[in-house]
Structure 1
Amino acid sequence: MTREKTMIGRICHIEAALPDGKRFNDAMSNEERRSYDNLLLLCGDHHTVIDDDEGCYSVAQLRLMKQRHEARHSERPGTLQLASGDHSAIWEELEFEHKRDLQPALMGRPLGPADAAACPELVETSLLARDLERAYSARLFGEPGAGKSVCVMQVASHFQKKGWKVFRARNPKVEEFKFDQTQTLALYVVDDAHLTPEHILAAAEQATHSGAMLLCTFNAAQQKGDAAGTTYLDARRAVRTIAKALRTRRDATLEVVRRVDPNIGDKPFEESFDARLDAAERAEIPWQFCFILGGGWTRADAAASSARSVRADLVLAAIAARQILTRDERASRSDITSLLAEMQAPIVAEAIDSALDWLIKNRLVLSHEDLRTPHQRFAAVILKQLLVLACEATDTDALAALVNRLISDDCRTLIGLRNLLQELRLGTRNWRFDGLVKRELLDAIIAECWTQAGEEQRNHACLLLSELQCYYDAWVAAIIRDDGQTLSNWIDEAEGESAYGAGFLLGQLSMKDGSLSGRIASKIDLHKLADKLSAVTPDQVFAMSELVSHVSSPTFATWNERFVARLDKDSLRRLAAKWPDDAYLSSFAKLCAHLSYHDRRFALDLLKIFSARTAQRMTVDPFQTFHEMNDIFWHVLRLHDPLGLYKGREAPTLEMREAGRLLAEVWHDEDLAAAVSKCSLRDFQNAAGFLLFIRKVDQKRFSNIVNRIDWLVIEATLADHLDNLFHDADVFLSICGISTAGKHAIAAMLARHNSELRTLTPRLAYIAFDYAIEFIRSGRVIGISNGHTFAWDWATILMAKFAKNHAELIHAFLAPHLKNAATSLSQKHSSWYDEPLLFLRTVRQFDHVGFEQMFAAIDARTAEVGWANALQSKAKARQTAAFLVQIAINRKDAIGEVARRLREQFQKSSVPSPKLLEPLA
């Protein structure tokens, strides 16, 4: 029962009462079926869970559960009765021997004695202990989830270690609290003492003494604490205390959090633990902190299912959707009630109250005074999960009506509306929900967007209009009704953040309708735009650079010279020379990158001034600097080009290389070597790019830096990851391995961890090739493929190295990957055949047995489609397919039949060049 005496339990049958029920036993009589021995009291959630899994919850298991529960909570076997008047009927003794980690707290479970040590000690713990020792009684007030339970357990643990026994009231609703006179040192704890009549509580406090102390907790939401000896638990301070303590034991905390949410960690592709901890520290109360730190949104599927089973799903969806639309604004009961009352099928107030009680009790909503979910991220995930359940049940009418009702509600903001529409469009798994939104509402939104005034609102309006691309088949025609005149006016008037949204929208339009975007750009006042860019402030730089880059794109050839001539270059030089210490480096990098397309020399001039101004900042964290200034290294200097954009005539010039060399002088070799040595797992990508940049401007400096690296520190960081090393660290080591010193250090590191390694990456095999030879001889694997990809280039490079002196190892090297190669050569899309040709020629020449095994494993049915597509595709894929056809054409199996059919169908393109059939030099 709830504290309000509402019955929420269900009397359930262990063996069903009716033939169509779960675990029905036709040998039982009706009397036996309804007897006490066959009944179990459950909440609605677990009634459903048990009936849905008969394999796990057998009759024997359910009877055992009942027996154990009775044994724990009863003094009369076979019942749940307690002997009235007995001391043990009022108090239960608490034991502190068992210890738990943070997992129960992260999962939002009730905390008890076992959690006292795991949770960081709160400030109020010592205050309460002091008050008890002085006055023998104390009261702790706090809002739900503020940490009262764990605080009390910490106090109790403090006394228990001094030899005291600790007792907790079984039920705060009693007629009298009697202390056990036989106990010489006893601390008594009453949770939820706001449910105890005040005169009974006062009498108990007056009966305390130096050997019998009383500690009570009160829900601050239910009662005001104005009695003497009251301590108020500061929830925000508790959050800060917990966060600070967990940071001091970071590794241990991360280990526990990973058990709850495996997506968090320190690797580049994992969610940052430190960022999650920072987000959790912004929580209002400790249980919200735990929810965020433990990634509560990852368990939204269970929460949504439970909410739907107790009919709280629509209320939860309303709260979540409103939270997204208002960008985390607090909601009151009247907000939610009025929202649901105005729907076509309104929910009665009693049902809303019942749902809210359940949601708050189960910590899916913060409190009655703050109707939000614990985190905006959870709001988005739970809303989509509730929509999935509704779709699966083909019962989306109510939720669709709710979403449309909220979209037209006054509470929403434009950016909140954009966020909601984006979540509906992205959906989850195979579900998308953009079809639930009514078209007439979207039409009204478009009209509303074009009425906006002010920088922030226009920025949000443009971003919202861009989001609507997926909601309209003819998106451009839907949002542009005046040939773009309003948008060009907005661009002319943009002074701050609206420049970003307007530029972004123009960029989206250019991809859909280049002619329209060109007309819009031609209407823009070029002089005004150049003047605004010249006078830009640090906080406007990024937005204005985004705008100018999109305006210039459609008409670059005609207006570039005029635009550059109009710029006030001295003003921009002064901006670079006085760049504030707290302004983003990335913003100036964006400006510099854009200007480099208009006037390369001027951009390099600005970079020189800027780097001199920010030199000290850049030396603090070189790899973060490299990340923030990526636009400069990539597009201004073109010395870090991960996508290979700048080749031939676009390759970096001598002037760019010299500018890069001067920029690199900001950092000293020994400092860089020290920074590289201390790389975190997340730093390796930027460190690799940075070292490659240094090598391109000064090879001697590169070698000197690598020579100074403390490889034992690097080894300590990577020791647990060397087996099948993750990509960023793999690339980092391969770049260090360009240096002779780096190559030797890496080989030595691998040798020291030889017993732990089962899979060696191709890059490491190439760097430490002598080690790779022994690795293959010992029967282990070089990872040139997995179930999804095949590294044709690396496989070929390593085969070539083996062929020089160890050709006998080629088959052992290839054998674990031949099936994956055959799978790749059986794909239907032509793109799969762009890269394998050199690999195929090499295998055919050096491993005939492996080549035959690979061909025998090709799926002839799908390969016929893929080879045919490749024969009609671009040159690389066509040459590969022709080679495959030629090699297979005389085979007597299914793939040979495929080759002969394709030769007949593609008589010319299926014949490879004779050179492709010649041995490789």
Structure 2
Amino acid sequence: MLVGGRLASNIEALGKRLSLGAVAVVGAGLSLAQRYPDTAGLNALMWDAIDADRKARAHLAADLGLEDTPAKALVGDDEARWALGWQTIAGSGVAQARFQAEFTALDAQRSGQRSQAHEGLARLIHAGVVECVVSFNWDSALEAAYLRLYGTRIPDDVLYKPHGDVANPDADWVLPHEDGVVPASVLNRVQQLVQEHPRTLLVIGYSESDEVVVEQLIAPLDDQWRVSRVGPRVSGVDDVMGDSATVLGRLAEPYANAEDEAAWRVVTFDANRGLEHALSGGRLAAADVAVCPPLQEVQHVQDALAQSHAVVLNGESGSGKSITAYQVAQRLAADGVEILQLRDRARRVAVRPWLEDLRHFPHRKLLFVDDAQDLSSDTVRELAEAASADQLVLIAGVDHIAGGVATVSVSGTGAVAVLQRYVLAHRDDLLAKVQVLDDWVGDHLGDEPFEARVERAAKEPTAWQFFYILTGGWRRTSRSMQEVRAFDRADLLACALAVAQIAGVDSGVTVDELVPYAVALNRDRAWVEKGLETLQRHLLAVEHQGVWRCSHLRTAYAVLRWMLHPPHYATKVAAEKVAVQPTASATGNRSETKPQSGRRAKHMPLPEVSKEVALEDRKDAARLIGVAVDSTSTSLRGLAWLLGRAHSTETRWALISCGVRTDEHDRQLALRALETPPGPEVAMASQLLEQLDGRDAPVIGATVWEHIDVIVAWVKSVSPETGWAVGSLVNVLMNDDSGRLASVMGDVDPGSLASLIVHGGWPHIYSTTRAVDRIAHGGGGDLIKATGEALDEDVLSRMLDEVPDLRSADELFKCLSDLNPALGVRLFELHAERLAAMFSPDPLAEHHALFRTFGFLLQYLPMFRRTKQPATACRRAARKFVRALDNRALIAQLGSPAEDLRWHNFWEFILMYADADPRGWAKVVGAVDLEAVEAALVEQLPRPGENVLFVLNSIADVRHQDILDILERHESEFGAIDELLVYTHPELSVRLLREGLPLNLRLEGQDYDVAAEMLSLVGDVDPEVAREVAEANMLPFAAGLANNHQQTFEDLRLWVAECDRWAPTLLDASLATLPPGVVAGWAGALKDPKAKRDIGPLIVRAARCEGTAAAAEAVVLIQRFTSLKGLTGTSNAPVLARTSPQKPRS
């Protein structure tokens, strides 16, 4: 700001006088430049307010001796009548409410506009120069300026507004005709400052015409302090004649410059983007917090910060960790905490300058570091040690960030479940946005249905990949690369940027750092600068403070993949499922409602390049990758990200084919990693070796085995910070040669290994449990047993007293289930009540967190994976847990079943509850709102989802007739027969079969146990319909035998028994139709005694089908496997007994 002459020297002198601090008294003069009215300018508002109360206006007219006319005529601009006008407003509740509402509306329009005067005063407040402000203005321009600059409200006990505030329009304001007010709160605060030490009284834009204010506030301070007035007509010795914008702007300039040069930048939340930015794969930031649905980790992080003041937020790239951090920050900002984010340029200096720069930000704050995977564990620890209740620290990054700090990990699957639910709930609005990015999605013939695309996206592991698939991101990246290719090969620069970003572990790069990549392509700096502009226009690159990145790390991988042009192998199109026809005797004409097809009438191919172009692109990409690999500044982690991480098999092939990954290169990289001495960098070295290893890179494994003593040394010195990576490397070596690994790890101390969990505590539980589990298994059975016995039960129990969240508990219990399951069950039972209290508020979300605990420790694996019933101790521990639950949320969730990922595996928890505590479960289902469940069913008809049908089946255990009544009320609306409907209401299912709906017994998929159960249930109702259902499913049965993808033929004997029971001759007729090669293909299964028990009788029966290919092949098998000769061909499986309702196998 250019201010010269006497004014500049006066402002400089005033700045020096403020060094002791200041109390500011503010009047209307501060806001005039913001287009706020002075007293005369309020006349129009006064007229309108009086007109709002006709009765009050009539009294005013009588007082003036005039007829009752509009207030403009009664009062006008006659100063002699202003006082009566304001008195009229003050005496009328209606008029005063109208006036204050109008001024509040005016303020809403103008307070958000930039104001040099208000921002200057806000900076002085922030710097602690102005410690108290007494404003006699109603407007919020000062508060808005502070919020705009610092993202939060003015600190408490700083701003006082005794005459009224637009933030409280319903209170009585002091109007212009009234004497001023200086409340006790203001006098007390000022007196507190007086007693501490003298300050300067700064009077800005205030006329001092109010005697009360002068006598009670200004005059007493004038007797003791230096007083400086700012205004166009002041003349005192310490006054500054000038407008408030100029003076305050110049006073604040040094503080603004210091903030700009600091290592930290203030994060504000005044800008809001739509969801389009997230949908298009953009890097999420503060502007996205309002539109993105919050993950459950937001509350976890906020709670952890309140408890420990420093938190590390881990998560895969694109998992939602950054937006989670910003949403936590927004909540804190709303509570008065200033959010400070580390600038990209500051990463290149040590921690000490970071902390020194905090002097420019003296108020409550959160220090936020994003993309912190490039920071050392010492840096993380040093920053965390600076945390306090008034200085919180939040560090977010990919991989496991070390540092001994409380850690929250973002669940990728949990984030995807939240997004799936959100997208489906906002279908109509989001479909239009998705179609802008990918017009393949829609509701018209040939479009991919929106729900089908959402279902595809929901299978992805991270939030970013969910949006990437939802919006056809793979098309956008490849097309954008094709487009920028025409701009002086800007696609090569995009590849260079991607390589640099990945090698720099997403820390971003400057133009200077991109120049060596350009030189490798015989290009120069000018090409880089021009090309970056092109990439920015095509949304392939973003810039912030001189640091460039692809729009997201995942985008960088997509760009690199495109330039490598990995081979695309056309996948074999799955054969059409064999359709199941209605039963032969069906008399109705009801047809089955088919699920929506994702097939498209027209296929728009992705951009392609010729083989020659692809080869040249690979060579260029190899040159660029070589720049990063050869650079001494590329860390071991960067090499792992660049060469091993997130690459498909095809992309790895491309890296090898273009010379980036040769045996010699791999060996040198492995040797570089193996040179790492025991210490923090072992994590990165282990990760590099683990990422590079594979069948396509045997030299990595060979080199590691040559130096296995180094790995053993790493194992013996493993720490909580390095455990995750060392454990992963050990796991790779164990899969390669478990016996050899166990022989070299024989002297690993099980006590030291077991103590790693306790030493790391909850902040490192992800890392330590993987290390202990995998290293113990790498050492073989003896080390597993010894490590499990070395675990300290009392210490682990004390840890569980303070478990921060259920995911952390699950990490510990999963480890115990492998090493010492009895200990794990005891600890779970001991802490069941605490775990239940954490689980109860949201069972649908939290059951994912404890899934492995329920499945592996308590032995409640999904039924299809369960080989035995849970042990007594496991069932007792589960019973204690479910009995400690507050079931209110569970009951509500059972009342609104939906088809989203939250319900994935939730059946298993329901079955566990019912098994562990049948009486308790009966009380739960007895309290479920059946009207809500019925509404969910109706919404999903004619083809209801499995979750609502499963809930109905589960409730039917207790409220059988109620559920049958619900289903029968909507019998005419069903368009398909699901197996769960058969289990729950076989009679209704048979009636639907008679009306023409088919029943698929799932035989093509070889789900023989399910098929047997369904046929038994139908047969008990109507044997003739059961026979016809079996006949209708014979073609799928034959197709399943021909596919033979389930070599064990598990439970085939159950199906054979039921089929023979209801349709005795059907199987033999089906066997006779099997094409050549099917029966011969069963030879491998006959080597397994269990499979032989199931398939053997069918081979004997096939041999009786004379004159068929099946018979000839069966005879050969019987001659080869002579034990088959003793079989009769009849299944010895028991007849399935029916219960009501039948429970499905989940």
Give the TM-score range, shorter chain.
0.5 to 0.7
Q: Residues 305 and 772 (structure 1 numbering): CA distance in 2 closer, same or farther, change over 3 Å?
A: farther
Partner of 1:813 in structure 2?
A: 1029
Do structure 1's residue 314 and structure 2's residue 492 form an aligned pair? Answer: yes
Do structure 1's residue 477 and structure 2's residue 712 form an aligned pair? Answer: no
Partner of 1:448 in structure 2?
A: 672
Report which of the two structures shows the higher radius of gyration computed on alpha carbons.
2
Do structure 1's residue 328 and structure 2's residue 545 form an aligned pair? Answer: no
In the TM superposition, residue 707 of structure 1 has moved relative to its aligned partner by 1.9
More displaced 10-residue stretch of structure 1: 727-736 or 433-442: 727-736
Do structure 1's residue 667 and structure 2's residue 844 form an aligned pair? Answer: no
Partner of 1:467 in structure 2?
A: 691
CA distance in 1, matches of 2:1051, 2:553: 44
Partner of 1:699 in structure 2?
A: 918
In the TM superposition, residue 552 of structure 1 has moved relative to its aligned partner by 2.7
CA distance in 1, matches of 2:1121, 2:884: 62
After TM superposition, the structure 1 = structure 2 runs for residues 274-289 of structure 1, keeping only pairs within 5 Å, are none
**Percentage identity across aligned positions?**
18
CA distance in 2, matches of 1:639, 1:907: 38
Cα shift readout 1:641-669 (whole Å, capped 9, x = no counterpart): 5564563xxx5433332222222232134
Cα shift readout 1:803-829 (whole Å, capped 9, x = no counterpart): 334122135424554332222222366
Answer yes or no: is the 8 Å Cα contact 1:373–1:379 preserved in 2. yes
The residue type equivalent to 1:449 in the other structure is: A
CA distance in 2, matches of 1:293, 1:907: 52
Do structure 1's residue 341 and structure 2's residue 555 form an aligned pair? Answer: no
CA distance in 1, matches of 2:112, 2:786: 77
Do structure 1's residue 398 and structure 2's residue 613 form an aligned pair? Answer: no
Partner of 1:492 in structure 2?
A: 716
Partner of 2:393 in structure 1?
A: none
Partner of 2:542 in structure 1?
A: 366
Answer yes or no: is the 8 Å Cα contact 1:871–1:906 preserved in 2. no
CA distance in 2, matches of 1:911, 1:699: 47
SS in 1 for 2:1005: coil
Partner of 1:6 in structure 2?
A: none
Cα shift readout 1:508-563 (whole Å, capped 9, x = no counterpart): 22222223322343232334334444444211233222222223335565456765
CA distance in 1, matches of 2:1030, 2:112: 69
Partner of 1:797 in structure 2?
A: 1013
What's the RMSD between the two structures over aligned residues?
Answer: 4.3
In the TM superposition, residue 305 of structure 1 has moved relative to its aligned partner by 4.1
The residue type equivalent to 1:360 in the other structure is: Q
Q: Residues 819 and 383 (structure 1 numbering): CA distance in 2 closer, same or farther, change over 3 Å?
A: farther
Answer yes or no: is the 8 Å Cα contact 1:468–1:475 preserved in 2. yes
Answer yes or no: is the 8 Å Cα contact 1:687–1:732 preserved in 2. no
CA distance in 1, matches of 2:888, 2:1048: 45
After TM superposition, the structure 1 = structure 2 runs for residues 906-921 of structure 1, keeping only pairs within 5 Å, are 906=1120, 908=1122, 911=1125, 913-914=1127-1128, 916=1130
In the TM superposition, residue 700 of structure 1 has moved relative to its aligned partner by 0.8
More displaced 10-residue stretch of structure 1: 886-895 or 660-669: 886-895
In the TM superposition, residue 672 of structure 1 has moved relative to its aligned partner by 2.8
Answer yes or no: is the 8 Å Cα contact 1:424–1:433 preserved in 2. no
The residue type equivalent to 2:981 in the other structure is: L
The residue type equivalent to 1:767 in the other structure is: T
Partner of 2:639 in structure 1?
A: 417
The residue type equivalent to 2:631 in the other structure is: D
In the TM superposition, residue 872 of structure 1 has moved relative to its aligned partner by 5.3
Do structure 1's residue 775 and structure 2's residue 775 form an aligned pair? Answer: no
In the TM superposition, residue 370 of structure 1 has moved relative to its aligned partner by 5.0
Partner of 1:21 in structure 2?
A: none
In the TM superposition, residue 443 of structure 1 has moved relative to its aligned partner by 1.7
CA distance in 2, matches of 1:907, 1:565: 46
Answer yes or no: is the 8 Å Cα contact 2:986–2:1021 preserved in 1. no
SS in 1 for 2:515: helix
CA distance in 2, matches of 1:337, 1:257: 38
In the TM superposition, residue 309 of structure 1 has moved relative to its aligned partner by 6.1
Do structure 1's residue 541 and structure 2's residue 765 form an aligned pair? Answer: yes
Match for 1:408 among 630, 644, 661? 630
SS in 2 for 1:540: helix
Answer yes or no: is the 8 Å Cα contact 1:264–1:272 preserved in 2. no
In the TM superposition, residue 776 of structure 1 has moved relative to its aligned partner by 0.9
Do structure 1's residue 377 and structure 2's residue 554 form an aligned pair? Answer: yes
CA distance in 2, matches of 1:365, 1:800: 62
TM-score (norm 2): 0.52
Q: Residues 775 and 569 (structure 1 numbering): CA distance in 2 closer, same or farther, change over 3 Å?
A: same
Cα shift readout 1:562-611 (whole Å, capped 9, x = no counterpart): 656655443333222233xxx33222333234345555554344334534
In the TM superposition, residue 358 of structure 1 has moved relative to its aligned partner by 3.7
The residue type equivalent to 1:706 in the other structure is: V
Cα shift readout 1:71-127 (whole Å, capped 9, x = no counterpart): xxxxxxxxxxxxxxxxxxxxxxxxxxxxxxxxxxxxxxxxxxxxxxxxxxxxx9977
In the TM superposition, residue 493 of structure 1 has moved relative to its aligned partner by 2.6
Partner of 2:743 in structure 1?
A: 519
In the TM superposition, residue 774 of structure 1 has moved relative to its aligned partner by 1.2
The residue type equivalent to 1:337 in the other structure is: V
Answer yes or no: is the 8 Å Cα contact 1:258–1:265 preserved in 2. no
Answer yes or no: is the 8 Å Cα contact 2:860–2:908 preserved in 1. no
Q: Residues 431 and 401 (structure 1 numbering): CA distance in 2 closer, same or farther, change over 3 Å?
A: same
> What 5-or-longer segments of structure 1 have no aligned partner?
1-123, 132-232, 281-289
Match for 1:426 among 634, 637, 648? 648
Q: Residues 523 and 391 (structure 1 numbering): CA distance in 2 closer, same or farther, change over 3 Å?
A: farther
Cα shift readout 1:270-294 (whole Å, capped 9, x = no counterpart): 54599988999xxxxxxxxx98984
Cα shift readout 1:610-666 (whole Å, capped 9, x = no counterpart): 34445532322223333212333233322445564563xxx5433332222222232
Partner of 2:213 in structure 1?
A: none
Q: Residues 667 and 919 (structure 1 numbering): CA distance in 2 closer, same or farther, change over 3 Å?
A: closer
In the TM superposition, residue 701 of structure 1 has moved relative to its aligned partner by 0.9
Answer yes or no: is the 8 Å Cα contact 1:618–1:625 preserved in 2. yes
In the TM superposition, residue 717 of structure 1 has moved relative to its aligned partner by 4.3
SS in 1 for 2:706: coil
Q: Residues 566 and 852 (structure 1 numbering): CA distance in 2 closer, same or farther, change over 3 Å?
A: closer
In the TM superposition, residue 772 of structure 1 has moved relative to its aligned partner by 0.8
Do structure 1's residue 576 and structure 2's residue 800 form an aligned pair? Answer: yes
Q: Residues 724 and 250 (structure 1 numbering): CA distance in 2 closer, same or farther, change over 3 Å?
A: closer
CA distance in 1, matches of 2:702, 2:894: 53
Answer yes or no: is the 8 Å Cα contact 2:990–2:1021 preserved in 1. no
Answer yes or no: is the 8 Å Cα contact 1:872–1:878 preserved in 2. no
Cα shift readout 1:303-331 (whole Å, capped 9, x = no counterpart): 34445566443322222233333232223
Answer yes or no: is the 8 Å Cα contact 2:501–2:553 preserved in 1. yes
CA distance in 1, matches of 2:651, 2:776: 39
TM-score (norm 1): 0.64
Q: Tell me the matched-pair count.
A: 674
CA distance in 1, matches of 2:995, 2:1058: 24
SS in 2 for 1:551: helix
> What 5-or-longer segments of structure 2 have no aligned partner?
1-106, 115-267, 275-285, 294-421, 442-447, 566-607, 1136-1146
The residue type equivalent to 2:880 in the other structure is: L
SS in 2 for 1:366: strand
CA distance in 2, matches of 1:411, 1:747: 70
Partner of 1:688 in structure 2?
A: 907
CA distance in 2, matches of 1:551, 1:687: 32
Q: Residues 567 and 893 (structure 1 numbering): CA distance in 2 closer, same or farther, change over 3 Å?
A: closer
The residue type equivalent to 1:363 in the other structure is: L
Answer yes or no: is the 8 Å Cα contact 2:999–2:1029 preserved in 1. yes
In the TM superposition, residue 338 of structure 1 has moved relative to its aligned partner by 1.9
CA distance in 2, matches of 1:592, 1:820: 43
Match for 1:761 among 973, 978, 998? 978
Answer yes or no: is the 8 Å Cα contact 1:640–1:692 preserved in 2. no
Answer yes or no: is the 8 Å Cα contact 1:425–1:433 preserved in 2. no
CA distance in 2, matches of 1:370, 1:409: 19
